Structure 1
């Protein structure tokens, strides 16, 4: 017995780290979540941010009329609005606010705050890329295009706690649309004191973040960490069990994964693809593989030759062996994209017009004047810096060389630089991905209308635009879905994009985390998340 005690004490003396708590252990005991968040978000302004990693933080700091449900993306969860109703035609919606909704500085959240906020995101001078998500509102598009004053837009505060929104047409799924951050309010006095409604580069998000969400901004150390802490002013604060969430910007999947293994993270956003089969085979308890409503694709800049030729775009797309990519590179249960809108939306199945076909690809390139790749100009494919994007780009570069006989340069860019390059249209071909904002196909299709802030390809088609706009006015659900199907058919025939695969979510999560459920949109309200120690 004494010998055993001596051996144990000796082991503790020589190997104390084997028995010491890791940073993740200590954080879990204190209800602090360490979260790998891929990269530095471009903004925490709900009307400016356009990235998934930014949305995760914005969803902590702000709350809209309706929130994300803890485990079902089809169910509207009361947010600032404790109840809502429509006029029977799904065109005019009335939202009744709870009396105890407050901003983090103690001010009440009012219906007029939402009117101000919708004015702001739709104001053409702000240049919000997600303004189009509010085009369902009557005259919202006309205001955003400077054709009518904001007073003509179908939004009004009936009183301090009642908001009325009139839509362009019947929209039964409208409650799920307003969950998105583009519909979130901002605190008007904060915005005005920071330079006004249309000042896009305002510093209020760093210096004086007044929000109405379950958490408040505690610290933003550029490229190091963003820390949010529980908001005592939040109307549902009693349900919030996490004290803090630390978002770490780590662009390297390998580094993020190593941090998890070293006890420095509770969540790994992206697992290195070569490790996924090993984790699956060994039954790694932290591994999560779940359906995800998203599509991985490449954008073609149709404003540049020869990508302005549909035959060239189709040739490039048909020369991509998508099945080989998901089997040999991503390895996480992804499926080859046969269209653009992914499966999972009730009542809608996308047209299947995308398939690896090397013979047709070669013929199309020859018809465009480049037989065997002869005379084809050197193009560049850009992608943001991660190992997975690099591996996919290298594979597709080789496919285009093998099938079409063309050489494509590759260039990686840091996330913020990459976003700016694409937004400025200063690219030939660009890596892209789109995750549904709500459970309806127009969340994937509206973005390709002419001039949409998320189009970024230069592609335009009048018939496509009309089908999308008419779908908002159609009362019959089946006819509306048929319009969207016809629109997607046009998109896939003209191919300003090359769909590659439909996403799955492969990530690692600390097994002590509770209140985190599989969701198609991967939106996990942190107000319900906690540690079971």
Structure 2
């Protein structure tokens, strides 16, 4: 900007086109990310906030377009064997890291082996179990050399799968499978993803500034292979967690996009044509984790009682007010069944009446568990991460369990990063949770609860469930695959009551009028690669 002013001051007469281009206003988009991400390391991240940063600063072999369809990313083309097991990806030779070094097949192989290495502790390691011997390596039963990953040359990588997988290209577009630089990771260790100058990515943007619990600034990556198609010059992701503060900042013009706001303000925003409010769709479920390994919630009758005592309709109508649907299953609408004209959710049907609490059955289950009318029930705590919305839900649940079961439940909140670790360790009684789909297949909702899943916060363990999920991942028959997943969900909710789904997500967000091209996908991500200001 200083340079362009100097040129303008020295020139006399009509400016040349290149001078006019230099003076073009910088395109800046400000989005409130929410809490400071626990990590933005592609292998270690398991949250939407971190993924929103990673999706702008890294790129996988495959991208997903605005319709969630796979399109070329670092791989400009690929082919698959007739049996669906061997995928060969050909990398574009002009793909570079943000420091100008070429992106090679070795970078992908290193990243995948690192994510699968049990020493890394990647919660999403199971997303690479589709690769031959991926699970065996992660469980210490095979070596890295046994993996179905072959670097043919610098720009060709061959991947052998355990079984044909219809949604595998969506997996290759997932952040855990993005490449990372071995030299950077080994030189800086855990700190490589904590400071701007060592956070080397291969995506459309590069991080220029990180201010802890305040903001992350990204600028266009001049070394990105498709940089000319990228619209914004700069992205600023702020880190406000209070819903009222977010909305005030948006309405004061301090941020351009928010995807959280006080529930009591949603009606006003919906009715204001100038608010930029959008009620989008999300594939995912807000739910309650019961600690399946810790008394008293190691008893399925207790879990059943607490789940049936919830009036889910009252929560979405009186508390969240964002158009959410009361959840009568864990897999919600939007996922196809074996017959793609039918939805998985509709084929299986509900597990309980989500429009009201079933107090009679809830009390019966609690009495069978040894706590008639809540008598003798131990002290338990419901844990949630800070935020007015989560607090409002917690208070509603607390009142329902008191009125319908005669049980006193204490409430406790923690800062987001602390909460994630507490929940991951299973150091809780009951905890808030939520899951947004990673791809558009029911498997993304159900393999979450396998015994070896790093995201199984409910600590649910059922060998029969694991076997059904494994069967669904390895069968070539689509009808059998879907039936195995239906059977698994029947165990999860119909028999074991492992978790208590509350509602199916919607995506209420606000975008400043005049900002075009923002992609809000049903997986919960906001993408700004092609966003621009109208009339700028």
> Structure 1 length normalisation: TM-score?
0.92
1:212-245 per-position Cα deviation (integer Å, ceiling 9, x unaligned):
0000010001011110110000000001110111
Determine the structure 2 residue equivalent to 1:244: 234
| TM-fit CA distance, 1:162 | 1.1
Aligned equivalent of 1:504: 506
Uncovered stretches (5+) of structure 1, i.e. residues with no partner:
1-27, 196-200
* Matched residue SS, 2:191: coil
* Secondary structure in 1 matching 2:208: strand
Query: Structure 1 CA distance, aligned partners of 2:25 and 2:263?
Result: 31
* Aligned partners of 1:269 and 1:508 also within 8 Å: yes
Correspondent of 2:266 among 266, 276, 286: 276
Cα distance, 1:346 vs. partner? Answer: 2.0
8 Å CA contact retained: 1:156, 1:164: yes
In the other structure, the counterpart of 1:354 is: 352
User: Which residue pairs with 2:143 in the alignment?
Assistant: 149
Q: Given the superposition, is the C-alpha separation of residues 407 and 29 from structure 1 closer, same or farther in structure 2, using an over 3 Å criterion? A: farther
Q: Offset of 1:451 from its aligned partner?
A: 2.8
Root mean square deviation of aligned Cα: 1.3
CA distance in 1 between counterparts of 2:224 and 2:294 reads 50
Partner of 1:377: 378
C-alpha separation between the residues in 2 aligned to 1:309 and 1:67?
43
Preserved contact between residue 344 and residue 442 of structure 2 (Cα < 8 Å): no
Q: Distance in 1 between matches of 2:528 and 2:269?
A: 26
Segment of structure 1 superposing worse, 150-159 or 350-359: 350-359
Runs of 4+ in 1 over 6 A off after TM superposition: none
Question: Does the 8 A contact of 1:29 with 1:531 survive in 2?
Answer: no
Q: CA deviation at 1:354?
A: 3.4
Once the two structures are TM-superposed, the CA of residue 29 in structure 1 deviates from its matched residue by 5.3
Indicate whether 1:188 and 2:182 are aligned.
Answer: yes
Q: TM-score, normalised by structure 2?
A: 0.91
Question: Could you tell me how far apart the structure 1 residues matched to 2:227 and 2:527 are?
Answer: 13
Alignment of 1:515-530 (within 5 A): 515-530=517-532
Whole-Å separation in 2 of the counterparts to 1:354 and 1:283:
38
Larger deviation, residues 514-523 vs 417-426: 514-523
| CA displacement 1:370-424 (0-9 Å, x = unmatched) | 0100000110001111111000110010000010000000011110111111112
Q: Is the 8 A contact 2:48 2:524 kept in 1?
A: no
Instruction: Spell out the pairing of 1:30-41 with structure 2 (5 A cutoff).
Output: 30-41=26-37
Residue in structure 2 matched with residue 459 of structure 1 by the alignment: 460
1:191: how far off? 1.2
Cα distance in 2, alignment partners of residues 472 and 260 from structure 1? 44
- CA displacement, residues 254-275 of structure 1 (integer Å, 9 cap, x when unaligned): 1000001111010112021101
The C-alpha deviation readout for 1:309-335, integer Å capped at 9, x for no partner, is 000001000001000111111111100
> 63, 66, 78: which one pairs with 1:67?
63
Counterpart contact for 2:384–2:419, Cα < 8 Å? yes
| Secondary structure in structure 1 of the residue aligned to 2:53 | helix
Matches within 5 A, 1:287-298: 287-298=277-288
SS in 1 for 2:315: helix
Helix, strand or coil: the match of 1:291?
strand
> Where does residue 87 of structure 1 map in the other structure?
81
Alignment coverage as a number of residue pairs: 499
Contact 1:286 1:510 (8 Å CA) reproduced: yes
Q: Distance in 1 between matches of 2:52 and 2:352?
A: 32
Partner of 1:233: 223
Structure-1 separation of matches of 2:266 and 2:193? 41
Q: Are 2:185 and 2:192, in contact at CA under 8 Å, matched by a contact in 1?
A: no
Pick from 141, 158, 162 the counterpart of residue 152 of structure 2. 158
Tell me the alpha carbon deviations over residues 334-387 of structure 1, each in whole angstroms, 9 at most, x when there is no partner.
Answer: 000010012101224233213331110010000000010000011000111111
Which stretches in structure 2 are left out of the alignment for 5+ residues?
A: 1-23, 338-342
Q: Is the 8 A contact 2:274 2:513 kept in 1?
A: no
> 1:250-261 alignment to 2 at 5 Å?
250-261=240-251
Task: Find the partner of 1:96 among 90, 100, 123.
Answer: 90
Question: Would the aligned equivalents of 1:337 and 1:354 in 2 still touch at CA under 8 Å?
Answer: no
Rate the CA distance shift 1:193–1:249 in 2: closer, same or farther, 3 A.
Answer: same
1:54: how far off? 0.8
Tell me if the contact between 1:354 and 1:499 (Cα under 8 Å) persists in the aligned partners: no
